[in-house]
Chains A and B, each alone.
Chain A
């Protein structure tokens, strides 16, 4: 076989292998997306969209002041975006920076009585950090003042 033909053949192998891999990867990605994409809702969204019981989603907002009740390893609290509230129950230890009046993101499902049963409450490392979705949810409900981050923060004004 001539050198040029071999080169073409080799290129063909590579292209076929590449395409095969790309196809597999696309198929994997699409099926995984179908099963594992988790939507983010604010309490207002949950009311408006009538989210079903079996749908796993992320809930974000502020932990309502005075709503946290601890009983053993189970915790109940309310997440609010100042427009709507949603009761949450969670079995487990809350992250260290979980606090009333601060932003929170939890992942789980609604139960039959409309309580959000959280499978996990996402931790964060920095108390000044507000997840962008929570900030957006608050902006959408018209309750964003920027004070939510400032109030709890010890940040000196920049510059």
Chain B
């Protein structure tokens, strides 16, 4: 019982609830009445809200760090002999703490808008921060009523129950914060969208103000998903990186919607078109974030990634979802018709390409949503208990992605308003040639049978996207057309946003290649292997040389030693483990992976074979091009970051044009 830190945290949360309530009313009201003083409250309000929640988060972290087992969540999720990293990661390795992290991120984004949005018109800022505070209020109510992280145990236990060993991993220590910053970051786009609806106007300046927040959220979500996928790949011991599991889909749906939003906002900014659609997407993206939270927290769907869950809490998230998104949609229904679109464009144009991207992205999202929720729908309609697995998603999702990738190559080559498709294609002849060569080459390389055609097509698509992206970049800097010096100068002066697109699209190309190779050519061997026995997989000779028991800090491991040879030369010694953790007593599989940068050799040691003394059940996987997935995801995130530093976000207040706007705002008030 140190210093009643937990009580301080609880008090801080209760205070934050009051501040959030005031913050959701006063600035909004002020904006309606044109009262500058009331609107000005939004900024200190956002700062106070963040500080209070941060204090609560700090208190919980402190309780974990000093292992204060009189706090219930600490007792249930921590243990005194756990390494420090996992004591801290334990803060969000449970429901209550992860919810607190959610709210911390929510208020952090509010703070960021309050501190950086100097050039925002006061009305828009006041309204957006009010809406953000409403969401915060809802979640604070949720945490205080159903999931209080500061509940005490009396008497406190001698030691804690420990953190689920699967979570005691650096990959997963950082996965939730990334993912949450992504999920929650879209709340800012939502708040801005609702503020714009209240105000009744959306224009290029609005799109420019919202863009950095959407981009930030998107970068975090991309990294969060990649980190989670990477973790599943090496930690679960199955060599898979994506299962189309409901929990994975829950994070993927906001990503799809957010990616669409990122692209449609460009059209609003550059061409003053697609406004009402962009607003709808902002609402939809955050709705998907909330839905994701609901699916993960409620446990209504069977998931391989589900942790012990509590349905009553799910109901609360569902209620929050219904109120916030329902409210926003009703507002949208009233206000959207007044959002007149500006710039016209023909179907073959940059806008047309971006619109097609949007349609495909949202359709893909809708199919993922349907597949994910279908078991619930079928159950409710008494159609029986069903599950929708990977084959469904592959059959639906992949065909939708193919045209998307084709368009991704052409779109950036088209002019705004009215593009020249034939001209674009003729400028892309290098990409077309590269596609044909890659298809033919990879098809012959992998065997040249009918079964390999599909994979060759996938590699061709990846080559198309990569080369088309590079061609677009080369054209911008007039590579090989102008003296090298001029090209360099042009490259240096290229807007950061253009660099961002090039990087992100190239990253996507790598992902396509990785997905294709790993789904078509993953090699798998499961066998009972004796000590000294050699197994051959994909040109590697893998010998199990020993299996020993080794102690760890809070577990005991059975460690296998594999010697990997290629053409007789020893290239790696891999030591996968099967660990038995002490608290909680739970086994985990630690795979050992040898990578050459392009493909992985993945080894797992299982139990001793009872039928064959001296033998162990071992699993070996050959995972071609899987590292490309991680490179691709990093490249995409890097693209987002580079684009975030674009000049137009750093310098100069985007000034609203047209005086008519003021009149419009006055008419609404």
Is B584 an interface residue when CB atoms closer than 8 A count as contact? yes
Contact A25 B526 (CB under 8 A): no
Is B363 an interface residue when CB atoms closer than 8 A count as contact? yes
Instruction: Give bound CA distance, A91 to B609, whole Å.
Output: 13
Contact A93 B385 (CB under 8 A): no
A-facing residues in B301-318 (Cβ within 8 Å) = 301-302, 304-309
Is B619 an interface residue when CB atoms closer than 8 A count as contact? yes
Q: A4: shortest Cβ distance to chain B, in Å?
A: 11
Contact B302 A35 (CB under 8 A): no
Contact B395 A38 (CB under 8 A): no
Is B479 an interface residue when CB atoms closer than 8 A count as contact? no
Contact A132 B302 (CB under 8 A): yes
Assuming the contacts A96-B588, A129-B309, asked whether A29 and B304 have C-beta atoms less than 8 A apart, the reply is: no
Contact B302 A25 (CB under 8 A): no
Contact A70 B611 (CB under 8 A): yes
Q: A142: shortest Cβ distance to chain B, in Å?
A: 18
Contact A37 B527 (CB under 8 A): no
Interface size class of A (residues with CB under 8 A): 35 or more
Is A92 an interface residue when CB atoms closer than 8 A count as contact? yes
Instruction: Give bound CA distance, A17 to B72, whole Å.
Output: 55
Q: Which residues of A contact B526 (CB under 8 A)?
A: 73, 91-93
Q: How many residues of B contact A (CB 8 A)?
A: 67
Is B356 an interface residue when CB atoms closer than 8 A count as contact? yes
Interface positions of B (Cβ within 8 A of A)? 72, 75-76, 151, 153, 157, 161, 164, 166, 236-238, 299-302, 304-309, 341, 344-347, 355-356, 359-360, 363, 366-367, 370-371, 374, 384-389, 391-392, 395-396, 399-400, 526-528, 578, 584, 586-589, 604, 606-607, 609-612, 617, 619
Mark interface residues in A135-159 (1 if CB within 8 Å of B CB, else 0): 0100000000000010001111001
Is A44 an interface residue when CB atoms closer than 8 A count as contact? no
Q: Which residue of B lies closest to A25 (CB)?
A: B363
Q: Which residues of A contact B299 (CB under 8 A)?
A: 129, 132
Assuming the contacts A32-B392, A71-B611, asked whether A39 and B384 have C-beta atoms less than 8 A apart, the reply is: yes
Instruction: Give bound CA distance, A24 to B359, whole Å.
Output: 12
B-facing residues in A89-110 (Cβ within 8 Å) = 91-93, 96-97, 105, 107
Interface positions of A (Cβ within 8 A of B)? 3, 6-7, 10, 13-14, 17-18, 21-22, 24-25, 28-29, 31-33, 35-41, 58, 70-73, 91-93, 96-97, 105, 107, 122-129, 131-133, 136, 149, 153-156, 159
Q: Could you list 26 A-B pairs, sorted by A, with CB under 8 Å?
A: A10-B347, A17-B355, A28-B399, A32-B391, A32-B395, A35-B395, A36-B392, A36-B395, A37-B387, A37-B392, A38-B388, A41-B385, A58-B387, A72-B528, A73-B528, A93-B607, A107-B387, A125-B307, A126-B307, A129-B308, A133-B385, A153-B308, A154-B584, A155-B76, A156-B157, A156-B161
Q: B266: shortest Cβ distance to chain A, in Å?
A: 17
Q: Which residues of A contact B612 (CB under 8 A)?
A: 72
List the 5 closest pairs (A to B, CB-CB), nearest first: A40-B385, A128-B308, A32-B395, A36-B392, A126-B307
Q: Which residues of B contact A32 (CB under 8 A)?
A: 391-392, 395-396
Q: Which residue of B lies closest to A40 (CB)?
A: B385
Instruction: Give bound CA distance, A10 to B309, whole Å.
Output: 49
Q: Which residue of B lies closest to A11 (CB)?
A: B341
Instruction: Give bound CA distance, A22 to B363, whole Å.
Output: 7
Which listed residue, A14, A22, A37, A129, touches B306 by the CB 8 Å rule? A129
